[in-house]
Structure 1
Amino acid sequence: MAGGWDRVLWALEELSGAELRRVKAALNRPPPGGAGGGPGPIPRGRMEGADALDLAHLIVGHYGEGFGLRVTAQALRRSQRRDLAEALVGEEAPRPSPPADLPRDVTAPPPPPAELFVRRHRLLLTQRVTGVGALLDHLEAAEVLTTEGVAEVAAASTPQERMRRLLATAPSWGRRGHEEFLKALRLLHPLLMEELEGGEDLQWSSPNP
């Protein structure tokens, strides 16, 4: 069975533009469980301009995969897409709530810090990273991307579309690939990374040069 992120993305990609806007509005309301101690709603500003792929990253980065599935299903129900909601959660309880003292997904270990950082800041990275060519060179040299993968990303017409294509490959990077990506960003965009990492608690060992 596909993982939580893939299932959330599948459901969001089935929506029309108007339906996606309604789902964003629903996501800005309290998630299942209300004030039971779990994560609150995703701030509206972080969802502005997000497409289905961006929104899937935001949901899973904010809630984790297991609870993210439930939150997405709830938002779909509130948006009159009960068919997608039921297909998304399958045999799970239709309106489950997270334990008050355990907001994180307990069905899978949390993603590594570098991967979580990329998920959480995907939309801002897409909007603000412009030197994509040098970033691609680093990732190819580190064997995170193949030559063919680099060419496919580089063929996009704008920096934003190149970053969008690059980040779409992130699920295949693995832990080392995400760490190499952030290492390159620190070298190429130190001010942006200083800003984004200011509120993060990232603990990992940088990959060997």
Structure 2
Amino acid sequence: MAKSARDCLLDCLENLEEGELRRFKAKLNEFPVRPGYANIPRGRLQKADALDLKDLLVSFYTEEYAVQLTAEVLEAINCKDRAEELLASTGNRPQLQNSSNVHFIERHREALIQRTTSVEPVLDKLYGSVLSDEQYQKITAKETNPDKMRELYRLVPSWDLRCKDKLYEALKAKNPHLVKDLEGQ
């Protein structure tokens, strides 16, 4: 019998080492969540053991989003293996990753740098949610579109899955033919 999302979440949280669990709770408290959701209050997180934490995640975010958010936070604290195990155990595979687990924007880096023709509209969609004012200004100051994309890609290694997904969505909205062409490869 397959495990429920709640059971998979609990297994994942119980298997975190003490330091990992502390980092997870600290990052979860400040992690940007989807519109319509709120962060779990710090006081409730600090007191929570794995079982309480699972209950908090499900009550604040619903089962499906709790699993996704937990995986994103795990990736953000450099527990990628744990995130992948959680996603695999729930059958919840990120749609933008291929079988080698490389995100679309990483897999097509070179083509996106060379072939993205409208960079500013992409940056506008990322402004405020992914890019700070300083980052936005630094990128738009570059002269050519490839230079702007290269500057944007300098930020990617520090991004979590949510940020990469936002870039993918922005590219898809503003350069749909390019994204469709690359997805067909």
* TM-score (normalizing by structure 2): 0.47
Give the TM-score, by structure 1 length: 0.42
Q: Which has the higher helix share?
A: 2
